[in-house]
Structure 1
Amino acid sequence: MLDIADELARWAEEGREFAVATVVAVGGSAPRGPGAALAVDSGGTVIGSVSGGCVEGAVYDLCVQALEDGGTVVERFGYSDEDAFAVGLTCGGVLDVMVTPVDARSPAREAVRSALSGAASGGPTALARVVRGPAGLLGRALSVRVDGSYEGSCGTGSPELDRAVAAEARAMLDAGRTGTFDLAEDGTHCPGGLTFLVESSLPPPRMIVFGAIDFAAALVRAGKFLGYHVTVCDARPVFATRARFPEADDVVVDWPHRYLRRTETDGRTVLCVLTHDAKFDVPLLTQALRLPVAFVGAMGSRRTHADRDRKLREAGLREAELARLRSPIGLDLGARTPEETALSIAAEIVAARRGGTGVPLTGSATPIHRDGGRRAEAA
């Protein structure tokens, strides 16, 4: 549910009662992964999605029912061979969805509100909930902060279990992962017991665009659309202005390599080098290709790339480091305009981070919906 935390936190602040349906497990070709959520308030307003439309109507009805009776349920939705038009995923997948009310009767209300508030404010937050176990424990929750402190309870009366769940959730938060784990009621990893879904919410990943050119303006818009915190950096103050990049989160006037040296990056950071000028590119890429970031791409013709590759080798980069560089940046879409070029770059970033091939799905045997193992790096 943390994927819709902004709106749900506002509902909670307004005192609205609502029910949340959350994907807790998937199988086969499913459009949304664990943690995807749909919520319905007491007035019938709906936000979010659990399936891209396949089962939303039935899930909506379950949310309304949960608000009426105060119960938490887990329902399975899947394709029916007997009736392809029955409620189910006609794409062939299976979804397990937990529906739980967040109202005055809910024992998990304060933990959920705490997690929503933390996620909406941009802080690292994890929400751990019981998704398999005795009916009376379903939906019980702990809101876990990055320092390991937590609010809420599993509902078993065991402080040891609560601490064990908080420790597991913190480890998953540190890794930026959303997924499930099992613990026995004594807090050990024994067969059986309870299954917990942990949703991790981290600040948006960074996209740093080097080079304040017209293509950069279009890429900023694409980056924001994909959920990145976007920074534009250029050494030329006449070009790196807020007026030219109103949608960027930050506009920095500095030499690119110097800014990269002093700014914060991590394993989710995307670096897009659009300067295609050796005096900027070589020192910048020499540093960028040695950082543990998610993506490094550089604009330029194939001749520019060949010359840049030679200079990077002269600067001492090894083959493994050079192999990380995606240049010329972008997928082959036949792009011409800045907007089309930004689309091709954004498509390559998504493919690189999600393990996609970039080939058309028509006629290919590649999965449409890949497993969610890398989904938590998103956006």
Structure 2
Amino acid sequence: MVSRIDEAREMFARIQQAWSDGERTALLTITQVKGSAYRLPGAKMMMTEKGKMLGTLSGGCLESDLYGWAEKAIEEGKPRLVHYDLSESELWSLGIGCKGTMEVAIFPVHSSDPFWQSVREAVAEDRVISLAIELPTGVRAVFEGTNPIAGDMDELPEAVVQQLTQRIWSRTRAEVAVVDGRRFYVDTMRPNERLIICGAGHDAVPVAALAAKCGFRVTVLDPRKEFNGTGRFPAAEHLVVEPDQADPAPLAESWWVIMNHLQLRDEAALRLALQARPKFVGVLGPVSRTQEMLGNIGADFDSAPIHAPIGLDIGAETIDEVAVSIVSELLAVRSGRLGEPLHGREKIHG
């Protein structure tokens, strides 16, 4: 999975609170999965020595056992690797039944450790960073761009650091990379994708709320200030302007959902989206309407990754159901999936 800064920011805010309360903490992350498991590499949770937790790695099945290992890691001040063969859950009396294997790394996170302080500051400031942590030794480095900014670089050969730098930016998912015969957990944490919802009608409200819950940074673009505000869209930013008055530069490389229900405004929003080098443009309504609008602005379906009509075919009728359909397609495209049923699949995450 792609690690998002918002998840890490929440973890480190809770870790900071635990430090203020005088508690020692650990950060746990899935480093490797084979077969079926509840979550993918990059999933994180935190634990304190008193048993407070944030996040989940298994849906609650393994957390009590992981807490025992986290206690040991915190006490020893050393990272630990824990392996679970979920196909043997009968032996553990856990009843998981996922039929896969999972490796979890547990890192003690001390307030006096400059490495974790650097990570905490970076995620708080929304800076894109990459972690490279050798398993099982815990030798680590944190990179901002291609520059190592903290860690144990002196303990790593220069050739290894160079290879890690190259490998970090060639990966889109958290995973284990083998560099010069050494295993490194590599994890790049990026800000959430920005979603521009053009239109502040009643049907846009559940789309914005659900998209925000699913990890998008939502901006609502609509000139009607009585509609486009925090009362209706509390989890969103607001651009209270006509689309043809908005500057495309700050909106570059965003995701777009166009749902004004007014063709001239939709055409202006579509033109703005195409000027902003979009990653995704979804348009509500029949494909013939989108074709007409594209023709009116001198564009076509090859001008950008345009999806019309937007949404997965789930038989949606109510505005909440339509929101599920729309956001489901956003998630499928973001994950490189087709949005098909899982029924009958041997592997869920394959």
Given the two structures, how large is their TM-score scaled by the length of structure 2?
0.85
Q: Does 1:273 align with 2:271?
A: no
In 2, Cα distance between equivalents of 1:154 and 1:90: 41
Q: Identity over the aligned pairs, expressed in percent?
A: 28
* SS, match of residue 162 in structure 2: helix
Equivalent in the alignment of 2:339:
358
Task: Give the paired residue count.
Answer: 343
Q: Does 1:345 align with 2:341?
A: no
* SS, match of residue 77 in structure 1: strand
In 1, Cα distance between equivalents of 2:27 and 2:162: 25
In 2, Cα distance between equivalents of 1:294 and 1:321: 12
In 2, Cα distance between equivalents of 1:25 and 1:82: 18
* SS, match of residue 147 in structure 2: coil
Q: Does 1:204 align with 2:192?
A: yes
Q: Does 1:100 align with 2:107?
A: yes
Closer, same or farther: CA 243–36 of 1 in aligned 2, 3 Å = closer
Q: What is the CA RMSD across the aligned residues, in angstroms?
A: 3.0
From 216, 236, 254, the equivalent of 2:241 is: 254
Q: Residues 1-379 of structure 1: matches in 2 within 5 Å?
A: 3-12=7-16, 14=20, 16-80=23-87, 83=90, 86=93, 90-103=97-110, 109-132=113-136, 138-146=137-145, 148-154=147-153, 156=155, 158=156, 160=158, 163-164=161-162, 167-168=165-166, 171=169, 177-184=173-180, 192=181, 194-248=182-236, 250-259=237-246, 261-266=248-253, 269-289=254-274, 292-300=277-285, 302=286, 305-313=287-295, 315-321=297-303, 324-362=305-343, 364-365=344-345, 367-370=347-350
Closer, same or farther: CA 46–245 of 1 in aligned 2, 3 Å = closer
Contact map agreement 1:331 1:358 (CA 8 A) in 2: yes
In 2, Cα distance between equivalents of 1:122 and 1:317: 35
Q: CA deviation at 1:278?
A: 2.0
In 1, Cα distance between equivalents of 2:87 and 2:202: 50
Structure 1 unaligned blocks of 5 or more: 133-137, 185-191, 371-379
Contact map agreement 2:206 2:320 (CA 8 A) in 1: yes
Contact map agreement 1:78 1:89 (CA 8 A) in 2: no
Contact map agreement 1:126 1:169 (CA 8 A) in 2: no
Contact map agreement 1:125 1:144 (CA 8 A) in 2: yes
* SS, match of residue 251 in structure 2: coil
Q: CA deviation at 1:319?
A: 4.5
Contact map agreement 2:283 2:290 (CA 8 A) in 1: no
25-34 or 235-244: bigger deviation: 235-244
Structure 1 stretches of 4+ moved >4 Å: 84-89, 289-292
* SS, match of residue 248 in structure 2: helix
Closer, same or farther: CA 181–360 of 1 in aligned 2, 3 Å = closer
Closer, same or farther: CA 118–289 of 1 in aligned 2, 3 Å = same
Q: CA deviation at 1:22?
A: 1.8
Given the two structures, how large is their TM-score scaled by the length of structure 1?
0.79
Q: CA deviation at 1:284?
A: 2.8
